[in-house]
Amino acid sequence: MAEKMKPEADVGLIGLAVMGQNLVLNMADHGYRVAVYNRTTSTMVEFVTEHPDTPGGLIPCKTLSSFVRHLKRPRKVIVLVQAGPAVDAVVTQLTRYLEKGDIIIDGGNSIWTDTIRRERELVAKGIHFVGSGVSGGEEGARFGPSLMPGGSKKAWRQIRPIWNAIAAKVDRKTGRPIEGAVPGKPVSGGVACTAHIGPDGAGHYVKMIHNGIEYGDMQLICEAFMLMKQLLGMSPGEMSKVFSAWNRGDLDSFLIQITADILQQRDPANPRHFLVDAILDAAGQKGTGKWTSVNALDMGVPAPSIAEAVFARCMSALKEERVGASRVLHGPRHLRKVPRKKFIDAIKDALYCAKICSYAQGFSLMTEATREYGWKLKFGQIAMIWRSGCIIRAGFLQKIKDAYDRNPRLPNLLLDPYFKRKLHTAQAHWRYVVSMASTTGVPIPQMMSALAYFDSYRSKVLPANLLQAQRDYFGAHTFERVDSPRGQMYHVDWPTDERPHVRVR
């Protein structure tokens, strides 16, 4: 495999783990010639050897200098390495060889603040930096991911043909995913699930919100599973049929679909049993859900459902503690009898209502981020990008796109006519499910949290007046009055019943 030095590669990729390999093959299937480099040379050699007949062709490179020399100008380099210091290290090495006008694209799960910093540093050197969210897992990377690039518009114009080609596609009229891609034969036509998100870290920020919403979707589905198992005594096989039916209606989504598949899978080690029952109930996480929750706290945006999904994973990890606690901490003694069909219908509505709240929180975070960072995020467009290729792809996203088409300045999804109507008609079932779970001791933290969010958001009055009085009492933090203009602050020397208010300017 002698290395040629003629610039002939359309794009290059560094980092040949599973995601990187699949993205390379996706680009090659669309006719792009791809230069590849990996820190461990043997991994690169093995990968190229296993794929000798890709339509676009692969160019193996053993050194970074030869990798860069193979790239056509302006050079486009995709970096897919572990987020954090590894990205900084690769970027530092690359800048020794790149020139003004070249483009580095970070396709990993970097935190958006790092992307803002890197973009600022590289712009000063005349090099473009794009932070692009890539969602869809291994299969998405291979046959069409959802792509969320952030960076300069000039850089976007350079990478747009590649991103449009390799992204997932939806039907132009129906918005439904176009599927059927196989190695060497990608899908054609339709609308690409990608668009320029905004400057600097906007793409990675939106990808983080996607992942936070993904945490919420997964937890809600798990809570529906828990309710059916503990209150209805249903087997995984029976539940699989329910999820399959739900996938043909309002809850149509990738995660509902794979849940139906998972629940019918028999245990290879014991085919008489279902595999899900043999899996330890201790969930892992990579941190993007936590980032979303921390960002919500930093910006003062209520996102309790997303945070609750993160905490649910943290609670699941306390397996040994929970086993011990189960021996000494007891809930209700008797489970109430629950009518199966009615309760399954109620769970479906509760899941849908809580899902609306979870997405509303994610989009509220993006709304605040537009003010915080000066981005002009197009929420309908973002919903469209998520309709295929990504983990949260669902028919539900078309409703969100429609909502922002109706009102681009919509302050909260709950106020859209469609979602408002859904919440009004389904909340009785939602409350029924939450009350049943509470009285029977079944943990459904996210459905409960979402209901509290809904009730808080629709409340004209909350008990924060007492809270402000408490703060003023012990810390002289001041308060506003209902009969004075907003922003006019007062203080009282507590305890008092006659002394006048002190107006604070």
**pLDDT tens digits, residue range 143-180?**
999 999 999 999 999 999 999 999 999 988 888 888 88
Contact yes or no for 151/206 (Cβ under 8 A): no
* For residue 338, pLDDT beyond 50: yes
Structure confidence at residue 503 (pLDDT): 73
H, E, C per residue of 186-200: CCCCCEECECCCECC
Please report the domains of the chain, with CATH numbers, ordered by start residue. Answer: 11-200 (3.40.50.720), 205-457 (1.10.1040.10), 464-504 (1.20.5.320)
Please give the backbone phi and psi of residue 157, each rounded to the nearest 5 degrees, phi first: -60, -30
Average pLDDT estimate for 204-212 = 96
* For residue 2, pLDDT beyond 60: no
Digit-coded pLDDT (tens) for 485-496: 999 999 988 887
Structure confidence at residue 1 (pLDDT): 45
Question: What percent of the chain clears pLDDT 90, i.e. is strictly above it?
Answer: 87
Structure confidence at residue 197 (pLDDT): 97
When the pLDDT of each residue in the chain is averaged and rounded to a whole number, the result is 93
Euclidean distance between the first and the last CA atom of the chain, given in angstroms as a whole number: 76
Nearest-angstrom CA–CA distance, 398 and 395: 6
Supply the residues annotated as catalytic.
207, 214
Structure confidence at residue 54 (pLDDT): 86
Structure confidence at residue 104 (pLDDT): 98
CA dihedral 215, 136, 221, 377 (to 10 degrees): 50
Please give the backbone phi and psi of residue 307, each rounded to the nearest 5 degrees, phi first: -60, -40
CB proximity list for 162: less than 8 A, separation 6 or greater: 10, 11, 27, 30, 32, 76
Digit-coded pLDDT (tens) for 77-125: 999 999 999 999 999 999 999 999 999 999 999 999 999 999 999 999 9
For residue 187, what pLDDT band results from cuts at 50, 70 and 90?
A: confident
| Local structure of 230: helix, strand or coil | helix
Name the token pair of 482: 């209902």
Instruction: Give the Å distances, CA to CA, from 178 to 5, 184, 190, 387.
Output: 39, 16, 7, 10
Nearest-angstrom CA–CA distance, 398 and 394: 8
For residue 186, what pLDDT band results from cuts at 50, 70 and 90?
A: confident
Average pLDDT estimate for 240-253 = 96
Digit-coded pLDDT (tens) for 411-443: 999 999 999 999 999 999 999 999 999 999 999
Q: Is the dihedral of CA 49, 51, 56, 62 positive or negative?
A: negative
* For residue 21, pLDDT beyond 60: yes
Structure confidence at residue 337 (pLDDT): 78
Report the residue count for the chain: 505
Structure confidence at residue 3 (pLDDT): 46
For residue 287, what pLDDT band results from cuts at 50, 70 and 90?
A: confident
Using a 10 angstrom Cβ sphere, with 0-12 exposed, 13-18 middle and 19 or more buried, the burial of residue 453 is buried
For residue 6, what pLDDT band results from cuts at 50, 70 and 90?
A: low
